Amino acid sequence: MTQAIAAFGTLLQLGNGASPEVFVNIAEVTEIGGPDLSLDTVDVTAHESPGHWEEVVPTILRSGEVTLALNFVPAGATHGYSTGLLRDMVARIKRNYKLVFPNIGATTWSFAAYVVKFSTKEPVADKLGADVSLKITGQPSLA
């Protein structure tokens, strides 16, 4: 019987590029979405396709994006312009990331990605926040 798992405790970690690579948790993450994995198809329907139903063949696997919402810490080591995600976007730095799920055994998905969006939020009556998007490049490891 399958049991649901609470998402609380899921971690998104970023690597430092060293050998061996060391991963640290991205601080103050409040929500993680993705990756948005998908499979492209091409229509191969012909006049003789059985029952007049469309037929497709699979083509390219798409890695999609990982999105995250943050309690933004402008000078934080994993957020800011000098060492964090914002710097990586501006400098076009590809990094290795790990998405660590909170299940028994801590299932981990690993991927390389670029920061492609960093959008801050400064509401008068709420916390300082940011929305970040990571575009995966290459084949992720979904072990």
With 80 as the cut, is the pLDDT of residue 2 above it? no
Read off the pLDDT of residues 53-81 as tens digits, 9 standing for 90 and up. 999 999 999 999 999 999 999 999 999 99
Mean pLDDT of the residues in the chain: 95
* Residue 136: how many other CB atoms lie within 10 Å: 21
Burial grade of 84 (CB within 10 A; 0-12, 13-18, 19 or more): buried
CA dist 16 and 14 (Å) reads 7
Number of domains in the chain: 1
Instruction: Write the single-letter amino acid at 44.
Output: V
What is the pLDDT averaged over residues 100-118?
94
Identify whether 4 is part of a domain.
Answer: no
Note down the domain range covering 103. 11-141
Identify whether 5 is part of a domain.
Answer: no
Instruction: Look up the CATH number of the domain holding residue 91.
Output: 4.10.410.40
What is the pLDDT averaged over residues 30-39?
95
